[in-house]
Structure 1
């Protein structure tokens, strides 16, 4: 199985590019974030013409997550247990959920496409929401792994955290001043690892960013952030045979400000003859 995650930054603006990538790179399962549309607005036809089934989750022109798969999609969920909501100016436990999480099982692998809140600033209510979201996600992960310890589980998507200094190449993102690199955010990322997940890409692609701001020539200067991840359970990590970051997708016409992150899995029952080496641009 080839699994990819990509913050597409508006699927309606970039559907042709997204489908072309999935077909060209022989992607079986593509998790998308920041689709920026409702399910009714999602451009299903190009995916279906290419052989993909799609489930999508969105409320308006903000946020939004989706999963496209050439294999059957089962057990779809639109939020995880304990997931907090957010609405500007509101407080308390009854705030509405944003479209930031979509879970599905594909060929026995449990996949969550996640768009973690940005945080905006260290003093913004959105920052507290981000930390609450991550705490709930870690608890959900612990519970899920305790309930089905042998099932491959992957949390994939835009985590809006650069967990180490090496993951931050943007001079405007300053520790102690900016979100994405604050110690509480990094501790929340480490809590996901402590819950039983592993960054399965880092050992195979230890360098490289996944996001570059459109402004100030960040991409030509390679002043980016590594904030898009595939975090897998032990059963998932053990099946990973290759991984990479497709930097070349930041080039060309109307690119997203993020690029795809891809892993290849040798799942039980998969023949070695089915495994084809991946080439990353």
Structure 2
């Protein structure tokens, strides 16, 4: 199974780019962020014609997340728990072919300090709380998306001009480190520990042409799924296409035959529910 994450930066504007990528790379599952469209504006027919089912949660002009899959996804939830007043479309979960897929678009947090950065950190705390039981789930789980976090200085071409950016702040990095410490495996870094890999190049100062990028799109695997990791990479060619998003799709290849077997429940205990049953 190939699972990818792609911040499309406007699904209406980038639909030709998205469809070209789907046709060429054929991911089994694609987690999308920054749809920038209402639910009724999602191009469901075009996605279906490309061979994919889809579940999504849109929002006018900004945010918005979706999960595309060749097998029909079963929605688990469409919001991150912890704040009923939060109306941002940043989270969606679905069960796909036995894998619990979580798609996120974590807040950017700029400018910082300020209310946007405070919201970013509060959202991160909710994420850490929600994912804690998932890392030890009896089901394989992946959390894929745009985390708006540069984990270390190795994950950016040059940190000097970004020192005040919310993506590099110590509080942001500490949250990501605490998330990983639960037991999640950062797939790209696991397989490429000494290679500078980027997933985002902004539109200014010829960052793409100079390969002046950042790694902010991540796929995290829980303990059940991590043994299935075969390959991970970035489809950088997508960033070089006309009218491209400032992100490139990031992906993992999984051998589901190697998914760690679930531990049999002890006598007198009840097994945890399947992802499709959680609400």
| Contact 1:210-1:225 at 8 Å conserved across structures | yes
Is 1:229 the equivalent of 2:213?
A: no
| Contact 2:17-2:241 at 8 Å conserved across structures | no
Shift in Å, 1:172:
6.2
Which SS does the other structure have where 1:114 is aligned? strand
Which digits, 9 at most, give the CA deviation of each residue in 1:26-85, with x for residues without a partner? 211000000100110011122111210011101211111011110120133111221x4x
Structure 2 partner of 1:90: none
| TM-score, scaled relative to structure 2 | 0.88
| TM-score, scaled relative to structure 1 | 0.87
Aligned counterparts of 1:101 and 1:144: Cα–Cα separation in 2: 15
Correspondent of 1:141 among 131, 156, 173: 131
Structure 2 partner of 1:183: 170
Stretch deviating more after TM superposition (156-165 or 119-128):
119-128
CA change 1:250–1:10 in 2 (3 A) is: same
Is 1:258 the equivalent of 2:238?
A: no
| Contact 1:171-1:223 at 8 Å conserved across structures | no
| Contact 1:16-1:46 at 8 Å conserved across structures | no
Aligned counterparts of 1:246 and 1:170: Cα–Cα separation in 2: 22
Shift in Å, 1:97:
2.0
Which SS does the other structure have where 1:190 is aligned? helix
CA change 1:20–1:184 in 2 (3 A) is: same
Structure 2 partner of 1:41: 41
Is 1:152 the equivalent of 2:111?
A: no
Shift in Å, 1:96:
3.2
Correspondent of 1:207 among 186, 196, 201: 196
Aligned counterparts of 1:171 and 1:193: Cα–Cα separation in 2: 22
Structure 2 partner of 1:64: 64
Segments of structure 2 that go 5 or more residues without pairing to the other structure are 260-279
Stretch deviating more after TM superposition (53-62 or 253-262):
53-62
| Contact 1:108-1:152 at 8 Å conserved across structures | yes
Aligned counterparts of 1:160 and 1:134: Cα–Cα separation in 2: 11
